[in-house]
A = this chain, B = another copy of it.
Amino acid sequence: MEKILRINMSNMEVNKEDLPEKYLEFGGRGLTSRIVLDEVKPNCNPLSKYNKLVMAVGLLAGTTLSSSDRLSVGAKSPLTGRIKEANSGGTAGSKLAKLNYRALIIEGKPAKDTCYIIKINKDNVEIEEREDLKMLGNYELVARLNEEHTGKGKPGVISVGQAGEMKLAAAGVSVSDITGEPNNVAARGGMGAVMGSKGVKAIIIDDTGAERVKLADEEVFKKAAKKFNKALIDNPGKQNQAKYGTASITAVVSGMGAIPTNNFSRGDFDEINEIDGDKLYELITGRGGEGKTTMSCMPGCVIRCRNIYPDQDGKEMASCIQYETIGLLGSNCGLDSLDEIGELTYLCNDYGLDTIEMGATLAMLSDIGMFKLGDFAKAKELLEEVGKCSTLGRVLGQGAETTARVLGIDRVPSVKGQAMPSYDPRGLKGNGVTYATSAMGADHTAGNAFGARKTVDPLTPENQIELSRSLQIKVASVVDNTGLCLFARPPVINDFEFLVKIINAKFGWDLKPEDIDRIGKEIVKTEREFNKRAGYNNYDDRLPYYLYDEKLPPHNTVFDVPDSEIDKVHDY
């Protein structure tokens, strides 16, 4: 029987509970969202003892199936005031699964203002007070924890940098990868602030001596996994993914006129060739040294989309440089250099900040003259304020909406309190529908219409509703509930028969293909139910007004999917 590990930071109690039957079908985001709905007071202050930080692995975590170990982190969000889930690659998911934990719930709040680490291994769960780790950045923190580690190999470390400790709403939860560095981030929605509010600086997962994850029908599973992994390797997009990572789409999105540029005022970036996938690959391979492409973040991943970006001397500068970061910290800030983007990425990763939220926030400061688009030195200086724990740093680290409030800016590129990722809704209208109607606010991973750009015209309001609805349900069930990476969706996203075969082989169940759709709908409805109980109705499903008014070059389009249509997205 899989377990839920419950850790109460008020009284330092640790409990292992059997996974309740009602949660059996749910993993990853499906499970965090169910637990958040069932256990968190919906209108609580997200930083109070009434909130809970829930981590969960997907149904397929810890197996030989490639790219299935993503770790979901959920809570009521201090950024959005609504339900939130963010997930991340890295090794923690696989290790938790091997230790037989489906989920980890951190609740309560310590009386003492200090730092704690939680050590989880095969035999024990320990909470240790560690004042000495206070206000360390993720990199130094995890290096120290690796050094202290006595188990086999590198532990899986889940951590927060200064931003999480300061409870900043743009703080993510970092997860170490197979290199042992905290290069993966469950970045969005301030999950790091919730972790910080619980006094937890790091969770160290050591699976030394753990048994393999149980498989009900080992043979069927192995065969299916092999087929799945091969399909990923043979996938025509695979080579681009390995070479360029998510950055492979940079030039394409700019070409479509949908990449955030100069504070969401254009959809294409003149210097796109300086920051796109080709340039990234060229610089990494050209500079050599510690720079690398084609790396895995999770053990056994065959996609290997990760990179280490080196500086001009070949020394590691940042890992990983991703598309969303390029769009928000790059073109949206008017920055046309990967070296600059790399430096800002490193800072965000070290402090534990969401690069999307920070890019949107910095660019927005150009509206009041606090930042000039393209001014790298100033961008860095502003970001460093967070590391300095200055009041300004605290403001910026709260993300776009709070920064706008404090500094008096009224053009705010966020939906439900969360900054828009790297697809302007006027240039990719399906994503506008997703941003508006996802319980998470502006979240591309909740249903990204980019992949459907050839079948549904991104610039017309037609068919966006149906597209976003279908994507939102599918991604919840096929990807986020199973623990799969978005890049690993091709073999199963339209073959539910195959997906249930894999799941059934693991658990000995008898799921039918239609159950995948049912589970997806249940997850989305669970999240909407939480938001309803937190005080929100369907009118909350709206984009900022300026997107309806201000024409976005080069296509000079506005967002024009009618509200009446938007309200139908979740009618099912």
Contact = CB atoms under 8 A, between A and B. Distances in A.
Contacts of A410: 45-49, 109, 197
Contacts of A153: none
A197 B43 CA distance: 30
A411 interface: yes
A429 interface: no
B539 A535 contact: yes
Nearest to A78: B405
B545 A539 contact: no
Given A41-B545, A45-B410, A46-B410, 10 more contacts: A43-B542, A45-B404, A45-B545, A78-B405, A169-B405, A390-B391, A395-B406, A398-B405, A532-B539, A535-B540
Interface in A393-430: 394-395, 398, 402, 404-412
Chain A residues touching B, range: 35 or more
A371 interface: no
Enumerate the 10 nearest inter-chain pairs by beta-carbon distance, A residue then B residue, closest first: A535-B540, A167-B408, A48-B410, A47-B410, A537-B537, A535-B539, A45-B410, A391-B391, A391-B392, A43-B542
A45 B412 CA distance: 8
A534 interface: yes
Interface string A530-554: 0011111101111011100000000
Contact of A406 (B43, B49, B398, B540): B398
A42 interface: yes
A166 interface: yes
A216 interface: no
Nearest to A539: B535
B45 A411 contact: yes
A533 B544 contact: no
Interface string A68-84: 00000000001000000
A116 B126 CA distance: 63
9 contacts: A44-B545, A45-B411, A48-B411, A50-B545, A166-B408, A167-B408, A391-B391, A535-B537, A536-B539
B42 A539 contact: yes
Nearest to A546: B48
A48 B545 CA distance: 9
Given A169-B405, A406-B406, A408-B167, A45 B544 contact: yes
A412 B197 CA distance: 15
A394 to B, nearest CB: 5
Interface string A364-392: 00000000000000000000000000111
A570 to B, nearest CB: 15
Contacts of A196: 408
Interface centre among A405, A407, A542 (most CB of B within 10 A): A405
A408 B169 CA distance: 9
Contacts of A49: 410
Contacts of A409: 47
Contacts of A534: 539
A456 to B, nearest CB: 26
Contacts of A404: 45
Contact of A545 (B43, B166, B394, B412): B43
A138 to B, nearest CB: 19
Contacts of A193: 408
Nearest to A190: B405
B545 A408 contact: no
Contacts of A408: 47, 166-168, 193, 196-197, 394
Nearest to A397: B406
A102 to B, nearest CB: 28
Contacts of A394: 395, 406-408
Nearest to A542: B43
A43 B390 CA distance: 32
Nearest to A395: B406
Nearest to A79: B405
Contacts of A537: 532, 535-537
A406 B402 CA distance: 8
A392 B392 CA distance: 8
A358 to B, nearest CB: 15
A534 B541 CA distance: 10
